Homo-oligomer: A and B are copies of this chain.
Amino acid sequence: MNKAVSRRPESPQPQTMVQSVIADVLRHIHERQLKVGDTVPSEGEFGQQLGVSRTVMREAFKALAAMNIIEVHAGRKARVKAFDSTLMALTLSHGLHTEQLTVQQLWDVRRSMEMRTVVLACMHRSEAVAAALLELTERMRATHNDVAAMTEHDIAFHEEIAKATRNPLFPVLVSSLTQAMRETNPIVWRSRTRSEEQLKVVDWHRDIAEAIRDQDPGRAMEAMSLHFDEALRGLVLSGFN
């Protein structure tokens, strides 16, 4: 375990050329009002315009790719990328691993988000969404003794609700916030040994799905609230803080 905590005040760091180029590329994208899928000038072109080496350009492009600003493929010019949940999910997973936050804290944020998404889903859901949510609860019921499979349906359930909000930001956030279930559910499931307990989890989800089908925001919020109360109880009993 490394313990290299610095005992000296940190000197202000000069802006590196890579950092400067990252900002230049972002400015280029925004000034020209580029959209998702539009090409960005190549490493070579940018390098010439900005008067920097290929090394600096490559490093800046890799950083921009890591930030999901551009996507880069061999032989093709980089293009503006659509944002997705991967980056934030990784940040949250890293935050949990490095003990910057706890599962309960993550769940509290999830809860406040999903109390809103479930209301919006009641208002905006299509018939297909209503059917899909009920189908997902049936799949959860059918797989309740295979925690990995059930977790995937559970995650899909919450993502489907977020998509039904018709606000593109909610699916990204909810998806990011739910990935941790892949790590927590197997452990929580060990404390739910009896079939009735496992099936109760499914019931909470079915109640939510029915409220959304019936377009009843009050019932949906109640059902989601109960679901989160019980999920939090499960986490606590399993030793998650």
Contact = CB atoms under 8 A, between A and B. Distances in A.
A172 to B, nearest CB: 9
A105 B62 contact: no
Nearest to A76: B6
B100 A83 contact: yes
A64 interface: yes
Contact of A37 (B5, B13, B74, B90): B5
A67 B39 contact: no
Taking the full assembly, how many copies of this chain does it contain? 2
Interface in A51-68: 55, 58-60, 62-68
Interface residues of A, number: 68
Interface string A71-102: 00110010110110001101110110111110
A168 B96 CA distance: 11
B82 A67 contact: no
Interface string A156-182: 000000000001111001000000000
Interface of A: 1-6, 13, 16, 18, 22, 26, 29-30, 32-39, 55, 58-60, 62-69, 73-74, 77, 79-80, 82-83, 87-88, 90-92, 94-95, 97-101, 105-106, 108-109, 111-113, 115-117, 120, 167-170, 173
